[in-house]
Amino acid sequence: MLVSFVIFDDSHSDPSLPTLLPVIGTMLVIRYTGPGSKLASLLAVNWLVGLGLLSYSLYLWHQPLLVMTRLAWLTNYSEIYELVALAVSVPVAYLSWRFVEQPMRNRGAVSSRQFLWLVAISTLLVLVVSLASAVGILQPKAARLGDMPKDGSLYQDRFGLQMAVPNLMIVGDSHAAALGQGFDRQLRDNHRAAIAIFSAGCPYIYSAVREDRFCSIVNEARRNRMLKADADHLVIIARYTPVFMDHAWQVRDSGESLAPEEIFALLEKDLLELHNSGKKVYLLGQVPGMSVEPFQFWYRDQTADPWTETLRDVRERQRYFNDMVQRLQNSGVQVLSLEDVFCDPALCFSNRGGWLYHDDNHVSALAAETIVSLILAKVEEFLPGAHWESSTITPCGAVSKCRMRRVISEKVASCCLVIPLPRTSRLKVWSYRS
């Protein structure tokens, strides 16, 4: 039985032939644990007996505590947190055994009337919490792994200092919403504010609509808001490549069918319309995305990278978007590439000292912090007066140690982003104070 704890890992499937090892071990323990035997004396030690009494409660409580611990510290998870969660589960299991399990076993301790009241109150509590979560009362302003609205619904939010005048508007789909917590905290730290308009499943484009007219009203409303907004800086964030490729699109006014390259040409036209209206427009580059769901790897080595893809393949998949970016180079629209966040010169990764995704295409809190830093650093070039500091360091060897490593927490008041400058071996570092 003890050997199975050491040699079994994720590569073993159950049930299988190796499963016989703990099963046969358990049979032998039962067979040879008779009265007066040495094994019976060993297993009769008080703390082992107590652990056996708590075993069912411990079985119920340890897993949710482990899951909540992993979600709470997903981007910088350590086995120490796991050990702490297991240690905490012991007193929690005792309280559950003492005040829930034991009274329920003793018919004389709880009358039928009291039992029915307990069941009714517990059921009501579960319903209240479920309803509160469903309507958003118990949900944070921006969830740790991204606050994902329903497809096609229009959500407006405000990030940063509530008393500050927002000079920045963030428009996008659920991928913009996934950056919400990072925007809120970093804008607050820099005494700024922003208005955000999200609609999941609806990348911003006005001149083209899907054949089912999905998002057409939403995008018309967002266009009007951006053109009339007091904010001078517009950040457009969306997952364009698969949405434009996987659905049939047509011209908004005529209904004429569009090829993918024609859809991107109309997106370019819409971005230039915003720019020509006097707004400063920033378009966030495309997230590479994964071909697998990362959560299946969360219970394994937190530093291993289960998925990579060549940068060449990523660029080929995003070729229509990249072609549009080339055409926008001298237009005044600022395009912010994400290749340095997710990729090196050859490969794109899902884990770079921490998970970059929380599903196959939305970014994690770790990646969100870095992406938001990149966006705000670019915005500050045209919006002076915030508390951003810029400096240059060398050599490039620091990249392997610094890039994508999150050094910010609730108690550590600093964060850095290291990005290679184009056509140079030097590095530019943006840092901010919280």
The answer to whether the CB of 30 falls within 8 A of the CB of 6 is no
Cβ atoms of 61 and 96 closer than 8 Å? yes
Give domain status of residue 33, yes or no: yes
Residue 241 lies in a domain: yes
Q: Same domain for 193 and 254?
A: yes
**First CA to last CA across the chain, in angstroms?**
51
SS3 category, 415? strand
CB atoms closer than 10 angstroms to residue 95: 12
DSSP state of 138: T
- Range in 19-33, 146-160, 218-232, 370-384 the model is least confident about: 146-160
What confidence score (pLDDT) does residue 77 get?
Answer: 57
> CB-side exposure of 233: number of CA atoms within 13 Å?
20
pLDDT, mean of residues 13-28: 84
* Burial class for 241, CB neighbours closer than 10 Å (0-12, 13-18, 19+): buried
pLDDT on residue 368: 92
Position 426 pLDDT exceeds 60:
no
Asked if residue 122 and residue 215 are part of one domain, the reply reads no
Within a domain: 410: no
Summarised one tens digit per residue, pLDDT across range 285-323 is 999 987 666 655 554 444 455 678 899 999 999 999 999
Verify that 102 and 115 share a domain, yes or no.
no
Which of 213-217, 279-283, 346-350 is predicted with the least confidence, judged by mean pLDDT?
213-217
Q: Mean pLDDT over residues 160-172, rounded?
A: 84
d(CA 25, CA 28): 5
% of the chain at pLDDT higher than 90: 32
Domains of the chain: total? 3
CA distance 376 to 168: 10
Confidence tier at 93 by pLDDT (50, 70, 90): very high
In which domain, by residue range, is 129 found? 111-139
| 212 plus 333 within the same structural domain | yes
From residue 25, give the alpha-carbon distance in Å to each of 7, 47, 48. 14, 22, 18
What was the pLDDT predicted at 134? Answer: 63
Is 421 inside a domain boundary? Answer: no
- Overall average pLDDT of the 72-95 stretch: 80
| One domain, residues 212 and 275 | yes
Angle at 368 between CA 339 and CA 303, to 5 degrees: 75
Sheet (strand 388-393) strand order:
388-393, 427-433, 414-420
List, in order, residues 6 or more apart from 336 with CB less than 8 Å away.
282, 283, 284, 285, 374, 375, 378
Q: Are residues 73 and 163 in the same domain?
A: no
Segment 346-370 mean pLDDT: 87
Mean pLDDT of the chain: 77
Q: Are 331 and 280 in contact (CB under 8 A)?
A: no
pLDDT at 175 over 90: yes
Residues 24 and 95 in one domain: yes
Rounded Cα distance between 280 and 289, Å, is: 28
Residue-wise pLDDT tens digits, 176-197: 999 998 998 898 888 888 999 9
For residue 253, what pLDDT is reported? Answer: 87
User: Could you tell me if 177 and 202 are in contact, meaning their C-beta atoms sit under 8 angstroms apart?
Assistant: no
Specify the CATH number for the domain of residue 319.
3.40.50.1110
pLDDT digits over 118-150, tens only?
889 989 988 887 787 665 555 443 333 334 344
pLDDT beyond 80 at 248: yes
In this prediction, residue 262 carries a pLDDT of 94
What is the predicted pLDDT for the residue at 271?
96
The answer on pLDDT for 111 being more than 60 is: yes
Q: Is the pLDDT of residue 433 over 50?
A: no
| pTM, full prediction | 0.57
- C-alpha 272/C-alpha 43 separation (Å) is 76
- Establish how many alpha carbons lie within 13 A of residue 385's alpha carbon, considering only the half-sphere containing its beta carbon: 5
Name the least confident of 9-13, 157-161, 187-191: 9-13
Q: Supply 65's token pair.
A: 């505590």
Q: Which of 139, 131, 176 lies closest to 156 in space, CA to CA?
A: 176
Average pLDDT over residues 191-218: 88
Q: Are residues 128 and 261 in the same domain?
A: no
Least confident stretch, 11-25, 177-191, 392-406: 392-406
Q: Is there a domain that residue 415 lies in?
A: no
Task: pLDDT band for 326, please (50, 70, 90 cuts).
Answer: very high
3-state secondary structure of 227: helix
Mean local confidence (pLDDT), 401-408? 31
Whether 62 maps to a domain, the answer reads yes
pLDDT band at 358 (very low <50, low <70, confident <90, very high): confident
Stretch 36-58: mean pLDDT: 87
Q: What is the pLDDT of residue 207?
A: 95
What pLDDT sits at residue 69?
A: 79
Whether residue 397 lies inside any domain: the answer is no
Task: With respect to residue 171, please indicate whether it lies within any of the assigned structural domains.
Answer: yes
* Cα 399 to Cα 308, 391, 404, 426, distances in angstroms: 19, 15, 9, 10
User: What pLDDT score does 264 carry?
Assistant: 95
Position 294 scores a pLDDT of 62
Beta-strand pair 208-210/249-251: antiparallel
- Of residues 245 and 270, which shows the higher confidence score? 270
